Structures are given as structure tokens and as C-alpha cells.
Amino acid sequence: SYVLTQPPSVSVAPGQTARITCGGNNIGSKSVHWYQQKPGQAPVLVVYDDSDRPSGIPERFSGSNSGNTATLTISRVEAGDEADYYCQVWDSSSDHPGVVFGGGTKLTVL
Amino acid sequence: EVQLVESGGGLVQPGGSLRLSCAASGFTFSSYDMHWVRQATGKGLEWVSAIGTAGDTYYPGSVKGRFTISRENAKNSLYLQMNSLRAGDTAVYYCAREQGETGELDYWGQGTLVTVSS
């Protein structure tokens, strides 16, 4: 089955840029989606199809995807961005096609 | 306004069954693929099942044969029938709407807690 690998944690100071990676075999050939989840809340879609933003998501959130790594970039990080972030793809290549999530990355704003 | 409201969670013994429901409103339910995703306390997101607009269903190996996803478009409702429950199935279960063609989940409910314990 397809595996997505994320770093467990990323720390960044306010106003700086946070980059959260998501590794997968030839992930550049797939569409990657990113979710933000704050404690006690449901996940929120922040980037879809590698780099598109849903309405209401700040332009500070952007994404890229190439080769074996997709990246969520959060510019001008704010305290309110502190959350868990998950990448996700649809894997059609396995015996059980379906949704695959990365293990999640906890973003800490110092 | 799109709303997804899960219900049916609770405490169940190992080996038991439970049926979750998700009431959808604010959009044309029949036109969207729908998913169930779960999250154990302190753990990451785990996809549980999906159902297409034509009724096609998808499951990961961990629940295939034990869980059944279904939908009733006339009632704008999504269901998850869970049988042969195990302690490892304990989690908050979310229903979610798939936005497009590549599996992105644009709206999520607030979740319902399922606890499998004796």
C-alpha cells in the first residue's frame, strides 16, 4: 500500500516561514491535499490539488509537489497556525484503492 | 451552508455492532462522493470507507469485510455499519464530503465517538 511520510514536528517563530513535507513514491504524479486540525476540532482543508486554496483560506498557505516530495508552505506564520497538518492522496494503484493520509505534523509556533 | 452531523456513536463490547449515521444538508447530497474517516485519541487520521454517487464502495484492508458504508439519497444520509468491532476501532468517526475528482475532502462533520470496550 502507498505510504506518505511526514516529519512528526516542525517549529517556527512568528512571522517566519514554515515548510511541512510529505514524502511518497513518485508523489509528484498524484494530487496532494493538506488539512489543518486544531485540538478538539475537525480537520479543515487548506490546500487541494497540490497548490489550490479553498475559499476563505489565507494566501499565506501554499503548496507544491514534485518528484517524491510535496510541501505545504505557510508564510508569515501566526500563533493561530499552530495545529496538526496532514497530507492526503487518493491511491488507485493498490489492491484496495482509496484515501491515504500522512502521519501528521505538529506545527509549533515558538 | 453545508452541514454534516454524525450520530450513533457510543460504548460497545468487543465483537459487537454499531451503526453510525451522518445527516447532510446545504448541498445536493446525491451529487457527491462521501467518506468516513476516524481518529483514535492522540493519533492521526485514518480513512475508513468511501461511497460514490453510483453506490460504488471502497475500504482499506483493516475494515474490509467488517464495515459497510451505504447512503440513502432520499434522506440525505450516509451510514456506516460496523460489525465485529475491536478495541482498535475505538476512535472519533467523521463523515466528510469529497469535493472533486482527486479525493479532497472539503467539508467534515464534528465527529461521533465510538468506544469498544468490555
| B85 DSSP β-pair partners | none
Q: Which of A33, A54, A98 lies at the smallest CB-CB distance from B47?
A: A98
Closest chain B residue by Cα to residue A57: B106
pLDDT digits (tens, 9 = 90+) for A27-77: 999 999 999 999 999 999 999 999 999 999 999 999 999 999 999 999 999
Burial environment of residue A8 by CB neighbours within 10 A (0 to 12, 13 to 18, 19 or more): exposed
Decide if A48 and B99 are in contact by the 8 Å CB cutoff.
Answer: yes
Quick one: cell of A52?
Answer: 489550490
B84: left (phi over 0), alpha (psi -120 to 50) or beta: left
pLDDT digits (tens, 9 = 90+) for B69-81: 999 999 999 999 9
Contacts of A49 in chain B (CB under 8 A): 100, 102, 104
pLDDT digits (tens, 9 = 90+) for B38-88: 999 999 999 999 999 999 999 999 999 999 999 999 999 999 999 999 999
**How far is Cα of residue B13 from the mean position of the Cα atoms in its chain?**
19
To the nearest whole Å, the CA of B39 is away from the closest chain A CA by 10
Closest chain A residue by Cα to residue B112: A42
How much is the pLDDT for A96?
Answer: 79
3-state secondary structure of A83: strand
